[in-house]
Amino acid sequence: MTINTWRNLPFAACMMSALAGIWGLAPAAAAESLGDFYKGKQISLIISTGAGGGVDLMGRLIARHWAKFIPGEPQTLPKNMPGGGHMRATNFLYSQAPKDGTTIGTIIPSIVMHQMLGGEGVQYDAAKLQWIGSSSASNSMLYVWHDSGVKTLDDAMTRQVIIGGTGAGAYTVLYPVLMNNLLGTKFKIIVGYQASDDVDLAMERGEVQGRAGATFNTLMSGNADWLRDKKINILVQIGRERDKDFKDVPLLTDFAKSQEQREVLQLFCDEIALGRPFLAPPDVAVEKIAALRAAFDATMTDAGFLADAKKSRLDVSPTSGAQLQSLVEGMIGTKESILLRTKGALDTKGKVDEKTAP
């Protein structure tokens, strides 16, 4: 793709014009400079999950398509970096990754909440990370295997249910801990699985009975047969409103017994709006962030990308990088009184067990 073609993208053209006003450059000169920088280079896409899940599949799909919208058309190489409830990838992106626009990441939004609540392992500031865009937003959920004997969240308040988890900052752990402490569920949480897909496999083997943190779009793209064959029972969904295709599944906020509980639960429901975000390290030059955001936005409407997403049953409902940046900064500024109540609701002391080696 030529520089002139790239400049004709509506968003990119506007952004380059704005940048020209900042540096006194003509749009063509700014685009040419970025093209020279990226030509022949490789962009590393750090994926905070293991291979095979929805985050990984979407990351790899975008990696195949978006280079044609970046000046110089650099190749994009996906690299899985799971571990520590997404802390490993986030910390790497923040402090170790090159800050020249050649490394970006796709990491689940729980990293924002984990920082807000003073979680272990945080070596980053989510507000200083530079948010590129989100490919989709889909409600999260907690489900259990069909033979668990549990059909509703109320059932999980009367009997123990074994839930598998990855790490402290992951939804696989955050959601069941939150429900145990705030709503009175009896989830027994076993952590130490490398990736969420490993938890699903453990559930199929009967090693655990359920999993939290999967999104509806991930479920539909990877395990739609579970719904078709009634292999799982979805107990609750987490989001601002019920998914249009799962209206019968209650929202997490439906179980709030007080305004104080609702404020805490709503914080997690609002976080879902971040969707499947892509982000860059802090201090990457503003013109490179503009170019990456423009390329991401263009990819989201590209016919080839959309066709491949449909084949892979991956939902595309994008959010711009500027919107994400504003949302994250607003979350980081949440009132201390709400954060204190939320921290109490996420106390894991004595409530999480380590997975034993097979």
Rounded distance between C-alpha atoms, residue 339 and residue 116, angstroms: 7
3-137+273-335 and 140-271+337-354 agree in CATH topology: yes
- 194: confidence class by pLDDT, cuts 50, 70, 90: confident
Q: Mutual orientation of helices 171-183 and 259-271 as an angle, nearest 10°?
A: 170
Q: Calculate the average pLDDT of the chain.
A: 88
**49 within 8 A of 172, measured Cβ to Cβ:** no
Model pLDDT, residue 32 = 57
- 46: confidence class by pLDDT, cuts 50, 70, 90: very high
DSSP letter assigned to residue 128 = T
55-88 per-position pLDDT tens digit: 899 999 999 999 999 999 999 999 999 888 788 9
**72 within 8 A of 54, measured Cβ to Cβ:** no
Domain ranges across the chain: 3-137+273-335, 140-271+337-354
**What residues have CB less than 8 Å from 303, skipping those under 6 apart?**
none
**252 within 8 A of 262, measured Cβ to Cβ:** no
- 182: confidence class by pLDDT, cuts 50, 70, 90: very high
Domain spanning 3-137+273-335: which superfamily? Bordetella uptake gene, domain 1 (3.40.190.150)
Rounded distance between C-alpha atoms, residue 130 and residue 307, angstroms: 28
When mean pLDDT is compared across 12-26, 226-240, 322-336, the lowest value belongs to 12-26
C-alpha 19: how far from its chain's center?
29
110-144 per-position pLDDT tens digit: 889 888 888 888 999 999 999 999 999 889 999 99
**212 within 8 A of 219, measured Cβ to Cβ:** no
pLDDT average, residue stretch 242-256: 96
The yes-or-no verdict on residue 26 having pLDDT over 50 is no
Does residue 320 sit in helix, strand or coil? strand
pLDDT average, residue stretch 331-339: 89
Rounded distance between C-alpha atoms, residue 247 and residue 225, angstroms: 19
The yes-or-no verdict on residue 232 having pLDDT over 60 is yes
- We find that the CATH architecture of domain 140-271+337-354 is 3-Layer(aba) Sandwich (3.40)
297: buried, middle or exposed (CB in 10 Å: 19+, 13-18, 0-12)? Answer: buried
Query: How far lies 33's CA from each of 16, 26, 30, 351, in Å?
Result: 11, 11, 5, 54
DSSP string, 21-74: HHHT--HHHHHHHHHHHHTT-EEEEEESS-TTSHHHHHHHHHHHHGGGGSTT--
